[in-house]
């Protein structure tokens, strides 16, 4: 049972355009959401996070939007650059017993390709 | 700037063999984690530790053991390797909970069991 879902395995965008990566979740007890970026043969690196009490968080070219009623979050990258080409993982803090735990549940990832 | 170091980077095991995946961090982080990533899947938590001497199970602990005798080291032990344990294993650490302080990941150990 996948509690955090990234339904698009891949996404291709042109350099300079907006990239929108989507993530859906099923557990309303999740209290924090994070995005990680992963290059081949490397470990994931933290990108941006958002608390469930907010609906938007911005850091430079990266913005995360949270729609709690739809149990949906998205990562916007504007403008997209070739160096952004990587796998992006959505993660949520919590487990089936509640939100405030030390555990993260990861989605399956979306491979973003930014074409020059 | 070592961060989180995992050894080995690659390993092939035969069914039934045992091995230890090493993980060490030099950031004085309290929290450490082991994940596995299967092809086309997200990272799944195997075990984690909130400090020396304290460990707890994650989503997929069966077939694995861990210990945390020091702040720096968090080895993952496979006692009887099975083909289902073929995966990429990531170790991570953080100073505090994974939202207050984001996790830092090692580069992974690719393990094949034949």
**3-state SS assignment for residue B114:** coil
Residue B98: its chain A contacts at CB < 8 A? 34, 93, 102-104
CB atoms inside a 10 Å sphere around CB B23: 25
Nearest CA in chain A to B33: A103
Which residues face B87 on adjacent strands? B111
Whether the pLDDT of residue A97 is over 60: the answer is no
Residue B93 structure tokens: 């650490």
Q: Cβ of A107 under 8 Å from any chain B Cβ? A: yes
For B59-98, the pLDDT digits (tens) are 899 999 999 999 999 999 998 999 999 999 999 999 877 6
Alpha-carbon distance of B111 to B8, in angstroms, equals: 9
Confidence band (pLDDT; 50, 70, 90) for B99? low
Q: Which of B41, B58, B90 sits opposite A103 (nearest CB)?
A: B58
For residue A65, the enclosing domain spans 4-115
Q: Which one of A2, A43, A111 would you mutate to disrupt binding with B, by most B Cβ within 10 Å of its Cβ?
A: A43
Give the chain A residue whose CA is nearest to the CA of B46.
A103
**How many distinct structural domains can be found in chain B?**
1
Residues A48-91: pLDDT tens digits? 999 989 999 999 999 999 999 999 999 999 999 999 999 999 99
User: Which CATH number goes with the domain that contains B62?
Assistant: 2.60.40.10
Alpha-carbon separation of residue B23 from A25, A52, B2, B44, B107 (angstroms): 31, 32, 12, 17, 10
Q: Is the pLDDT of residue A96 over 70?
A: no
* Number of domains present in the structure of chain A: 1
Counted across chains A and B, CB pairs separated by less than 8 A come out at 64
How many H-runs (helices) and E-runs (strands) does chain B carry?
0, 11
Strand order in the sheet with B76-78: B4-7, B19-25, B76-78, B64-66
Is a pLDDT exceeding 60 seen at residue A98?
no
Q: Do B91 and B36 meet the contact criterion of CB atoms below 8 Å apart?
A: no
Mean pLDDT of chain B: 92
Structural domain range at position B53: 4-113
Contact assignment for B45 to A9 by CB distance below 8 Å: no
Domain CATH for A21: 2.60.40.10
Nearest-neighbour CA in chain A from B101: distance (Å): 10
């Amino acid at each position: 049972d996948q509690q955090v879902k990234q339904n698009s395995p891949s996404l291709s965008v042109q350099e300079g355009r907006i990239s929108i990566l989507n993530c859906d979740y099923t557990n309303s007890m999740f209290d924090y959401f994070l995005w990680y970026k992963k290059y081949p043969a490397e470990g994931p690196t933290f990108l941006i996070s958002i608390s469930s009490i907010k609906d938007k968080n911005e850091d430079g070219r990266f913005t995360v939007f949270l729609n709690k009623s739809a149990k949906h979050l998205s990562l916007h990258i504007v403008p997209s650059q070739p160096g952004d080409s990587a796998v992006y993982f959505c993660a949520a803090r919590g487990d089936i017993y509640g939100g405030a735990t030390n555990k993260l549940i990861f989605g399956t990832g979306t491979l973003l390709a930014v074409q020059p | 700037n070592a961060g989180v170091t995992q050894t080995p980077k690659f390993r092939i095991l035969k069914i039934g063999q045992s091995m230890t995946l090493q993980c060490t961090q030099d950031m004085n982080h309290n929290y450490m984690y082991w994940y596995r990533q299967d092809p086309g899947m997200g990272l799944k938590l195997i075990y984690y530790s909130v400090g020396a001497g304290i460990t707890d199970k994650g989503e997929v602990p069966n077939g694995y053991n861990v210990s945390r005798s020091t702040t720096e080291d968090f080895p993952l032990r496979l006692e009887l390797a099975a083909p289902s344990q073929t995966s990429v294993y990531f170790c991570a650490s953080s100073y505090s909970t994974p939202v207050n302080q984001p996790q830092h990941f090692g580069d992974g150990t690719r393990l094949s069991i034949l």
